Amino acid sequence: MFQSPAELKKLFEERAAAAGKAAEMEQLRIEFLGKKGYIAGLMQELRNVPNERKKEAGQRINEAKQFIERALAARVEELKKLEEQMLIDATESYDESMPTDDDLGSYHPITLVRREMENIFLSMGFAVEDYSEITDDYNCFEALNIPKHHPARDMQDTYYLSSGQLLKTHTSAAQNTILRKYKENLVNGQPIRAIFPGRCFRNEKIDACHENTFFQMEGIMVDRDISISNLIYFMKTMLSEVFQRDVTVRLRPGFFPFVEPGFELDIQCLICGGKGCPSCKDSGWLELCPCGMIHPNVLTAAGIDPEEYTGFAFGLGLTRLAMMRYGVKDIRVFNGGNLKALSQFTEKSFTRPDESKEA
């Protein structure tokens, strides 16, 4: 049985209000306006309407049809908007200040040099170790044969915490910990071979080649019969791998209480070619990698018998190496936070065979 045009309008309004999705309205359109729909049914019914009322009845059906068409279009529009809003609400919020793909960050030049060094030493069987930036007097000085009031402490004034701890002045502060960690190797007939890069802090007068916060990379090797020849071999391999060309270096005696004998390994300044410039304090040379044979007292402090085992240690100035590697004239660029300057030296990505060991 077919409803009257007025009832049909009311029914449509109820059904449209109950619809929750724009797609449901298509079903309503077919039901009400389709070939076999309610409006079409009413039109057929016109045959049975007496002639004198046909015109008026036809007008009412047409008017109901137009009403339904308009209401349908309006409700479809309304439901679409609601759906869009729901989609927006459900979507994760985003930060419009985030950089686009083109602006993705790049690795800091020191990170690149550090990883390169790590790759070189990993390939030579060294472990890569990490060590905290906060340490104590024992590890930073005492265990390294630098007792209280030793004049060598004057060279490495640092920042002290109220707890009595301090910010490490050199990566050598980890020597005792790393030697202890690996000393079982010696019992098992294996050498101790480790590097440990890290950030160092000194109360320093800042200039083109001195920062108060800089990076070093320490390396140690201990075994039976380790000699200065081993030390020189590793230093040479390291430098030729890093620079991929001949660089002029010089080895001269240097004093560090934790090595005996001790050396200073200097590199001829690559900024001025040895002529002298602010980057090398006009000397033509840059102190890069002090090194030496580990002092017996240091081995003893770590529980290793110096009569049985010997070893070498080096403390590479990683920030200075980055200066030479990338031709950076002023060390302050590295901590300056100028992204334009820093991103110039870097490749976008750099992986190390052993990423898992990264701190």
Contact in structure between 314 and 236 (CB atoms under 8 Å): no
Nearer of residues 79 and 288 to ligand FA5, judged by Cβ: 288
Least separation in angstroms between CB 87 and ligand FA5:
54
Nearer of residues 12 and 256 to ligand FA5, judged by Cβ: 256
In angstroms, the Cα distances linking 356 to 128, 129, 193, 352, 353 are 10, 11, 18, 9, 9
In angstroms, the Cα distances linking 129 to 141, 187, 332 are 20, 21, 27
Least separation in angstroms between CB 266 and ligand FA5:
8
Least separation in angstroms between CB 343 and ligand FA5:
22
Least separation in angstroms between CB 323 and ligand FA5:
9
Nearer of residues 15 and 181 to ligand FA5, judged by Cβ: 181
Q: Are strands 127-128 and 192-201 parallel, antiparallel or unpaired?
A: parallel
Residues that bind ligand FA5 (CB under 6 A): 170, 172, 202, 204, 210-211, 214, 216, 218, 256, 259, 262, 287-288, 290-292, 313-315, 317, 319-320, 331
Determine whether 198 is exposed, middle or buried from the number of CB atoms within 10 Å of its CB (0-12, 13-18, 19+): buried
Contact in structure between 268 and 249 (CB atoms under 8 Å): yes
For the chain, how are helix, strand and coil distributed in percent, rounded to 5? Answer: 45, 15, 35
Residue nearest to ligand FA5 (CB): 317
Least separation in angstroms between CB 149 and ligand FA5:
19
Nearer of residues 38 and 131 to ligand FA5, judged by Cβ: 131
Nearer of residues 71 and 176 to ligand FA5, judged by Cβ: 176
